[in-house]
Structure 1
Amino acid sequence: MTFTVPAIETPNTLQIRLEIRALQAQLVEWRRQLHQRPELAFKEQITAQFIAQKLQEWGIEHQTEIAKTGIVAIIKGDRPGKVLAIRADMDALPIQEANEVPYRSQHDGIMHACGHDGHVAIALGTAYYLSQHRHTFNGTVKIIFQPAEEGPGGAKPMIEAGVLKNPDVDAIIGLHLWNNLSLGQIGVRSGPLMAAVESFHCTINGRGGHGAMPHQTVDSILISAQIVNALQAIVARNVNPLDAAVVTVGELHAGTANNVIADSAWMSGTVRYFNPQLEDFIGERCDRIIAGICSSHGATYNLDYWQLYPATVNDPKIAEFVRSVALEVVETPLGVVPECQTMGGEDMSFFLKEVPGCYFFVGAANPAKNLAYPHHHPNFDFDETALGIGVEMFARCVERFSEIS
């Protein structure tokens, strides 16, 4: 399907080269085609086929079916040099889209509500541009199209499949279109950018009975309430106040009637933190707190606790390099936002644990066009001008990467 692409009004503070401005309509076209056909984790067959077809048309060397649906494209410059990887995620979310737009999702209950369709379009635009301008950079660029960022995570299996090898990657960069920043802003931060993500399910096993005879029971709801309160003490009293952390119980299910004390209760939650030293600590504290409260009431419990993603930690040298590139693109220090941390998680973190790199945000919100809904919202959308900004950022990073010693 062909879409009518609106005229793009690029802010005067942005420096986008003419060749990339000329790609803007195509970037929007690709993004909207992908938006119409969203796919969930490890099921991105249509998306992968779309990417592979473009790479084949352009004569770009690539490998498919990595970690099921992942793709790696390799583009060599005219001169030898180091290897820079660029990562783009490509999966969607199980959300019913509420936007009334011509490119609305055609897959019921599935939506690109986090901008991954834009990430793929930016990576494709970067691949095309670099393949046509190999004389502008040294070394090799690996563009990694990754499945399953939203969960259970595609970065780790791609790493295990060897995407950072042959040739070995010296550094990696990636971006996220970000509706928490305005169009024309770029968020770059050294150190922790996004939080580690851990999750838990817990069943409290008490002894049910009549609501009028609580002495004959072990009240799973009462125990659960004490646990929910006590878990907050982990952050309040066990974590350094200078280290941000969150423990959230998001689900609590128990009971069937107002005069029946529930035999069991079930809860689930999420844990977030930036400091890698907190890995294992919060999970162990959760277990001890739940065990102690249950023991004091004569209840038992089953706790399933797992680590999903580590913290996304940017290498200081690569982050400063990306910041210097961003200052060229936005042409004003006010456009580069250093304090852009979020408790959201990202499996880009696995790549950053293997090689130095930087993950950064490209502002994509435009309230004047009603394009400022938060990520994972059924009305999420973004200002597509950000697509060209993303390509410009990647192209400049590739061209200047040889500067890093």
Structure 2
Amino acid sequence: MNETIERGFEEMVEWRRYLHRNPELSYQEKETSAFVAGKLESFGIEVRRNVGGYGLIGTVKGSLPGRTVALRADMDALPIAEESGAEYASLREGVMHACGHDGHTAALLGAARYFAEKRERLRGEVRLLFQASEEVCPGGAMPLIENGALEGVDAVYGVHLWTPMPAGTAASVAGPMMASTDEFFIDIAGRGGHGGMPHETVDSIVAASALVMQLQTVVSRSVDPLKPAVVSIGTINGGFAQNVVAEKTRITGTVRTFDEDTRLLIRGRIEDMSLRIAESYGASASVEYLVGYPALVNDASETERFFRVAPAALPGFRIETAKPLMPAEDFAYYLREKPGCFMLVGAGNSEKGFVHPHHHPRFDFDESAMKAAASLLIAMAESVFEEEI
């Protein structure tokens, strides 16, 4: 574990707990951004504020020539009422850091201070990306990229504190690691009427129900069984009284895949199936399909770097090959532009009660994992700086 990070851990915890008490939703991270920018400037780091919203780009240029590495953390919280009972619980009703972004930000601040203090001996440049709005599409990654965040960058790295893994572990995997995420909204229009005279109506609920059942066959009968995919219906809403045939019903859901061909196939099947099944019941359908984040695909050579670097950076840790995950991450956009690696650091601890999943109102994590996250980011960057230009 990095000695500088060990010495600064108590302050890292203070930063994290301040952010946890004062969470801000996606696209609203004004105070969070100002807090982080202030810390970076106190370290003597040059900062571009309000990049593509409330994003920040900090730059540490070493005295010696070398490569450029980008390190990224996300800053936004979720619309969840906290029930953790922690003394540092959210002070903002209905808003909570329930995914560990406060820890990501604190860990990258720790890494930022390390590189700022090492500037005179640093070979290369560190680009610090404090990103807003990861939780809500279209997300904050693309605005940073469009504003030059990756210009001249040789590699990009990010870490997610992950409570399903115990503290003392770290993992990554080459290739697809996190799924793409799309959303669909299907409106079925029939002809309403009296519930006692259904023969004079076109029942949108019956048509929608048939469609929900048929959508379950998209993955099982249209997708290559060797290619993971998910189609989940989240809501079905129609009608307003027990004796009225509903004229309109809405279905909403999500699609998760790991490759673009499967992604396009599923979209086409959902759109075609919706129109045809609605028509077969005498109804009509309209489909709104929102394309979200692409699949997160780690660069093979940079993932090899992780497995080479992590054991020395995290002595005593169990270093594992991660299983691909269906949750999505807009870090995927960075990896479309530059070689890099997204890594998981275990942050669960059953003995301390850190057992709740991400996005849960009682979510919390073992703060010692922040030391590992910061140390890993530093080690990955320094490994790049050691290479010949």
TM-score clears 0.5: yes
Render the CA deviation track for 1:189-238: whole Å, top value 9, x for unaligned.
10111000000111100111222322211111111111111112111011
1:53 aligned to which of 16, 34, 38: 38
Deviation at 1:327, TM superposition (A): 1.9
Q: Secondary structure at the match of 1:43?
A: coil
SS in 2 for 1:309: coil
User: Aligned to 1:163, which of 142, 149, 173?
Assistant: 149
Partner residue, 1:187: 171
Match of 1:391 in 2: 374
In structure 2, what residue type is equivalent to 1:96? A
Cross-structure match for 2:318: 335
- C-alpha deviations, 1:77-136, integer Å up to 9, x for none? 232111110010000000010121221101111000000000100110000011112355
Return the alpha-carbon distance in structure 2 between the equivalents of residues 117 and 99 of structure 1.
15
5 Å-filtered alignment, 1:267-346, equals 267-331=251-315, 335-346=318-329
Matches of 1:404 and 1:116, distance apart in 2: 31
Distance 1:340 1:48 in 2: 33
Contact 1:234–1:282 under 8 Å retained in 2: yes
Q: After TM superposition, give the deviation of residue 298 of structure 1 in Å.
A: 1.5
Runs of 5+ consecutive residues of structure 2 not aligned to the other structure:
none
CA distance in 1, matches of 2:212, 2:320: 36
State the Cα RMSD in Å: 1.4
Residue number in structure 2 paired with 1:231: 215
Q: Who is 2:241 aligned against? A: 257
Which of 218, 231, 239 pairs up with 1:247?
231
How far 1:328 sits from its partner (Å)? 1.7
Q: Residue by residue, what CA displacement relative to the aligned partner does 1:330-387 show, whole Å, maximum 9, x if unpaired? A: 446x811213321000111111111111111110000100011100000000000001
Contact 1:200/1:303 (CA < 8 Å) preserved in 2?
Answer: yes
Task: Give 3-state SS (helix, strand or coil) of 2:345's partner.
Answer: strand
Aligned residues: 387
Shift of 1:256: 1.7
Give the direction of change, closer, same or farther, for the CA distance of 1:284–1:404 in structure 2 (3 Å limit): farther
Structure 2 length normalisation: TM-score? 0.97
Q: Relative to structure 1, is the Cα distance of residues 241 and 135 closer, same or farther in structure 2, using a 3 angstrom cutoff?
A: farther
SS in 2 for 1:113: coil
Task: Name the CA distance, whole Å, in 1 between partners of 2:315 and 2:323.
Answer: 19
What is the correspondence of 1:18-57 to structure 2 with a 5 Å cutoff?
Answer: 18-57=3-42
Counterparts in 2 of 1:16-165, with a 5 A limit? 16-134=1-119, 137-152=122-137, 153-165=139-151
SS of structure 2 residue aligned to 1:280: helix
CA distance in 1, matches of 2:19, 2:218: 42
Paired residues of 1:137 and 1:398 also in contact (CA < 8 A): no
Task: Work out the CA distance in 1 between the residues paired with 2:266 and 2:129.
Answer: 33
CA contact (8 A) 1:136 1:399 kept: no
Structure 1 runs of 4+ off > 6 angstroms?
none
Question: Helix, strand or coil: the match of 1:279?
Answer: helix
Deviations 1:241-265 (A, max 9, x none): 1111000110011122222211110
